Structure 1
Amino acid sequence: MEEEFRALLERVWGQLGSPSEVRAYQGVLDLLRDHRPAEHREDLARILVEPGRPLWAREIAAYALGVRGDRRAFEPLVMLLNYRDPVSCACAARALARLRDPRTARAAAALATNELRTAYALYPIRLLTELRAPESVPALLSTLNRLLAAPDHYWPIARACVEGLGVLGDRSAVESLNAARRHERLRPAADEALAQLSGTATQNVRPTSSA
């Protein structure tokens, strides 16, 4: 079982407050067993749309369908990717990466660049890095450049952009990474990213003063 999904199940178990909720939880888990995969997949898909289902049940069903490549999970997973709970976001990102839906990169880019949701952009950014899609570099550059110019830099989000640009290895990021070096809290990640782009940590990098 993947770490993200285990964390989700542990969180859900800790929130159950009644015997009926425990029975419902066990019932959803029973659907994850593969001895009747086709039938169970349909049951999981129904959980996504049935009225009255708790969010945790939809989360588990969406993850299970996503990692099996069932595109009915796409919209719930995108919603969870930008959710306020990091465990939900991590699970959604893992499932979307496995789902391989062609809409995923565009959706992740829209979430990563949404100025109103910057605080929740970490997992969309990480997913874009993993996908290596055409949308990945433009979205990371747009977000990083905006954060470098903003009064509130959202350091973890900016750092994720820097790290992702290093992994993606596109030299169009050099100027933005040099700008990131001007901020002490981003400089180590920016140096590493530039090293990944150029082969040496200091190539084409001018000394800068601390911000």
Structure 2
Amino acid sequence: MEEEFRALLKRVRAELVSSAEFSAYERLLALVRTDTRAARDALAGVLTAPEQPLWAREIAAFVLGGKGDRRAFETLVLLLNYREPVRCATAAHALARLRDPRTGRAAAALATNPLRTAYALYPVRLLTELRAPESVPALLSTLERLLAARDHCWPVARACVEGLGVLGDRRAEAALVAAREHERLRPAAVAALARLGGPGGGRQGAGSGSST
């Protein structure tokens, strides 16, 4: 957790521009370093208090998530679906360690939302790491939709293929065979099928596949 937290602090510090922001940043770090029940309650207060900057909520949620404090859940899910990938990555890291039973459902809802596909990469990766009951159905649903779509959103589709290989569920075989027909997904799909150990793992697609 230390390496990720240091990277978070370095990024946030680079965003600060005023003396008031630097002072608020130092006060927040003082709470983090104190690590008492009262300090945790104060960090939880940052998540719900009005007019708190996003960076303050992000630091507080990351710290609480790492300590297994479920008060961080809602903020971390919000950040998991944020427009900046670096914040999505930070939130996914903390959610994986929070171990809140709601996380799988939340990540699945974000991954399968067709209106938010551009932001689905980290929810997909989180579902793979969680190995939750929702993981395989959500990854399958997302991959099948992307394979049929005009815009395949290759990074998300590839993450689904890789995740399904890691999860090793034979329900994914047909979708992985279909993914193998796309040039940009073929290496990941072949590797995933090999991990499944099914008949599809040893066959190469006859066509050249689509790359558009």
Same topology, TM > 0.5: yes
CA distance in 1, matches of 2:191, 2:88: 26
| 1:95-123 per-position Cα deviation (integer Å, ceiling 9, x unaligned) | 11111111110000000000000000001
Match of 2:91? Answer: 92
| 1:67-108 per-position Cα deviation (integer Å, ceiling 9, x unaligned) | 111111111110000101111111111111111111110000
CA distance in 1, matches of 2:83, 2:3: 19
CA distance in 2, matches of 1:207, 1:95: 39
Identical pairs, percent:
69
Question: CA distance change for structure 1 residues 121 and 128 in 2, over 3 Å: closer, same or farther?
Answer: same
CA distance in 2, matches of 1:201, 1:23: 59
| Equivalent residue runs for 1:158-177 within 5 Å | 158-177=157-176
What's the CA shift for 1:4? 3.6
What's the CA shift for 1:5? 3.0
Is this contact kept in 2: 1:4–1:90, CA < 8 A?
Answer: no
Is this contact kept in 1: 2:177–2:200, CA < 8 A?
Answer: no
Name the aligned partner's letter for residue 138 of structure 2.
Answer: A
Match of 1:24? Answer: 24
Match of 1:66? Answer: 65
CA distance in 2, matches of 1:92, 1:150: 28
Pair 1:187 & 2:186 matched? yes
Is this contact kept in 2: 1:66–1:73, CA < 8 A?
Answer: yes
CA distance in 2, matches of 1:207, 1:61: 49
Question: CA distance change for structure 1 residues 108 and 17 in 2, over 3 Å: closer, same or farther?
Answer: same
| Equivalent residue runs for 1:16-165 within 5 Å | 16-33=16-33, 35-165=34-164
CA distance in 1, matches of 2:32, 2:56: 12
What's the CA shift for 1:9? 1.8
Which of 190, 205, 208 is the aligned partner of 1:207?
Answer: 205
Moved more, 3-12 or 154-163: 3-12
What secondary structure is seen at the aligned counterpart in 2 of 1:190?
helix
What's the CA shift for 1:200? 9.0
TM-score when scaled to structure 1?
0.94
Name the aligned partner's letter for residue 113 of structure 1.
Answer: T
Question: CA distance change for structure 1 residues 133 and 91 in 2, over 3 Å: closer, same or farther?
Answer: same
Unaligned runs of 5+ in 2: none
What's the CA shift for 1:26? 1.1
What's the CA shift for 1:206? 4.4
CA distance in 2, matches of 1:193, 1:3: 30
What secondary structure is seen at the aligned counterpart in 2 of 1:32?
helix
Is this contact kept in 2: 1:113–1:139, CA < 8 A?
Answer: yes
CA distance in 2, matches of 1:82, 1:3: 23
CA distance in 2, matches of 1:56, 1:23: 13
What secondary structure is seen at the aligned counterpart in 1 of 2:93?
helix
Name the aligned partner's letter for residue 5 of structure 1.
Answer: F
Name the aligned partner's letter for residue 30 of structure 1.
Answer: A
Name the aligned partner's letter for residue 194 of structure 2.
Answer: A
Aligned residue pairs, count: 209
Question: CA distance change for structure 1 residues 200 and 28 in 2, over 3 Å: closer, same or farther?
Answer: farther
What's the CA shift for 1:52? 1.4
TM-score when scaled to structure 2?
0.94
Name the aligned partner's letter for residue 37 of structure 1.
Answer: T
